[in-house]
With several copies, the nearest count.
Chain A
């Protein structure tokens, strides 16, 4: 195992994240560019932290998303940067966003369960589009008649929405609470807002792939 000094390590990690196609995990760093070097976990963390700070005042930022580290443009610059492309960013319908939100917060979930909560049918197109975007995937089948597919979100979903994990979803805690109420209604406390303080997350919210 060769040695590498800290400044070189920072440069190498920085360049690697820059030239890579997607986010770069620590594991990938170790398996590729750092394969022949002896680098302590602590040292690698320090390099990543320093890089994050180095870019704080710049036009791009180093962020950690679900599948690793990536550089991305400052989101305050998006009104100007979007002028670089002819077409505008895709917009998503409420039906799609609600379906996606339900899959994100209550995964693994079947189409039937989504329809139950939303009160309307979920079109096959929505499931197809979400699958094609690689935001959701089938993680199994529910053992009920018809064995419907169970959907869960992917790392690509978290990466796209710039989230390090499902816990970082907005209002994740409120959601978990009400969902628990829903599955186990307790009329005596149901309407009391103090109840919402519970922060326990259902296990079903972890991403598995």
Chain B
């Protein structure tokens, strides 16, 4: 992430500027207690102990804040300065008796490690650039900064309940839910019929023929026709355009209905018109 040429002078400059105010680096702090000096710019109300952990979303967030505050460029992370400031904040946390989150301590260790590696003499001038111990931290900082930005963008995105409201309109009147009836296949019916008949051994002699079916259909039809009429001329139950077979079917249906005592035929005298009516009408 860094060019080696820029690293060394920058690093040198850091060390130089920091030199007068450089605190004795509290490596000792990680093991226990060390210096206590509050950073002047961070206001911490004495009764709000958790303010730091609430203000910062973690060590990366705190580091970013320190870098931004000093207007440093992440890509040329001035480890010495940032490490010193970071330690100061962490010190404040311990001073306020905060239970230090492990993540903050881990970051302190990482910073200390990077700093110590930078202080070691370089083996050669054109050392492998990937050897920059800061590279991984810089990558993480850049990545985190993006996540932070993304979270802010997401928060700014118009959202339901806050910026936009769902529209709800009622139907004009009670709309009854449409009931989807189950599918039935013809074969279901034939199978059902076959199995019902098979069980009813007593009915075995009733072989259902095509002819019988059309007769039975005609029986239903005639019953429907006669339902509300008191007397219907017999001939009106026959339609010429059905042809001979139609007349036969109707005739068989009428005979069957008479046999089953569902209708009755009335003839006033010999050769007079025959009238039919529902059997039930007589008793009404």
Tell me the A residues contacting B by CB distance below 8 Å. 15, 18-19, 21, 60-61, 70-75, 77-78, 81-92, 94-95, 97-98, 100-102, 104-108, 116-121, 133, 139-144, 147, 150, 152-153, 159-163, 165-167, 169-172, 174-176, 178-179, 181-182, 185, 187-188, 190-191, 201-202, 205-209
Number of A-B contacts (CB under 8 A): 325
Complex contacts, B148 vs chain A, CB 8 Å: 98
Complex contacts, B172 vs chain A, CB 8 Å: 61, 72-75, 77-78
Ranked 3 nearest A-B pairs via Cβ:
A152-B220, A120-B58, A89-B162
Asked whether B193 lies within 8 Å of A172 as measured between CB atoms, the reply is yes
Among B57-108, those with CB < 8 Å from A are 57-61, 75, 101, 103, 107
Q: Hey, what's the 0/1 contact readout for B159-171 against A, CB within 8 Å counting as 1?
A: 1111111111111
CA of A143 to CA of B262, assembled, Å:
7
Asked whether B197 lies within 8 Å of A120 as measured between CB atoms, the reply is no
CA of A171 to CA of B283, assembled, Å:
37
In the complex, the chain A residue whose C-beta lies closest to that of B150 is A101
Among the listed stretches B32-40, B116-124, B210-218, B230-238, which one makes contact with chain A, having 4 or more residues with CB under 8 Å of it?
Answer: B210-218
Confirm or deny: B151 has a beta carbon within 8 angstroms of a beta carbon on chain A: yes
Q: Give the Cβ gap from B152 to chain A, nearest Cβ, in Å.
A: 8
CA of A94 to CA of B195, assembled, Å:
10
Complex contacts, A108 vs chain B, CB 8 Å: 216, 219-220, 223, 262
Among A90, A100, A167, A206, the residue within 8 A (CB) of B192 is A100
The secondary-structure label for the interface of chain B is helix
Complex contacts, B197 vs chain A, CB 8 Å: 117, 172
Asked whether A206 lies within 8 Å of B154 as measured between CB atoms, the reply is no
Say whether, besides A81-B165, A119-B107, A182 and B154 are in contact (CB < 8 Å): no
Among the listed stretches B8-16, B21-29, B139-147, which one makes contact with chain A, having 4 or more residues with CB under 8 Å of it?
Answer: B139-147
Say whether, besides A75-B163, A152-B220, A191-B2, A167 and B107 are in contact (CB < 8 Å): no
A-B contacts besides A95-B57, A159-B160, 19 pairs, CB < 8 Å: A18-B167, A75-B173, A98-B150, A104-B193, A105-B147, A105-B213, A106-B216, A107-B216, A152-B220, A152-B223, A167-B213, A169-B153, A171-B209, A178-B146, A181-B139, A182-B143, A187-B1, A201-B187, A205-B187
Q: Give the Cβ gap from B132 to chain A, nearest Cβ, in Å.
A: 8
Asked whether B177 lies within 8 Å of A85 as measured between CB atoms, the reply is yes
In the complex, the chain B residue whose C-beta lies closest to that of A162 is B158
Complex contacts, B171 vs chain A, CB 8 Å: 19, 72-73, 78, 81
Asked whether A143 lies within 8 Å of B57 as measured between CB atoms, the reply is no
Tell me the B residues contacting A by CB distance below 8 Å. 1-2, 57-61, 75, 101, 103, 107, 129-130, 132, 135, 139-140, 142-144, 146-173, 175-197, 199-200, 203, 208-210, 213-214, 216-217, 219-220, 223-224, 226-227, 260-262, 278-280, 283
Q: Give the Cβ gap from B209 to chain A, nearest Cβ, in Å.
A: 7
Complex contacts, B186 vs chain A, CB 8 Å: 161, 163, 169-170, 205-207
Complex contacts, B226 vs chain A, CB 8 Å: 140
Complex contacts, B101 vs chain A, CB 8 Å: 120
Asked whether B154 lies within 8 Å of A78 as measured between CB atoms, the reply is no
Asked whether B214 lies within 8 Å of A102 as measured between CB atoms, the reply is no
Among B2, B59, B158, the residue within 8 A (CB) of A120 is B59
CA of A85 to CA of B166, assembled, Å:
13
Asked whether B135 lies within 8 Å of A119 as measured between CB atoms, the reply is no
In the complex, the chain B residue whose C-beta lies closest to that of A113 is B203
Complex contacts, A78 vs chain B, CB 8 Å: 162-165, 171-173, 175
Asked whether A101 lies within 8 Å of B262 as measured between CB atoms, the reply is no
CA of A176 to CA of B208, assembled, Å:
13
Among A97, A159, A171, the residue within 8 A (CB) of B188 is A97
Complex contacts, B60 vs chain A, CB 8 Å: 118-119
Q: Give the Cβ gap from B213 to chain A, nearest Cβ, in Å.
A: 5
In the complex, the chain A residue whose C-beta lies closest to that of B73 is A191
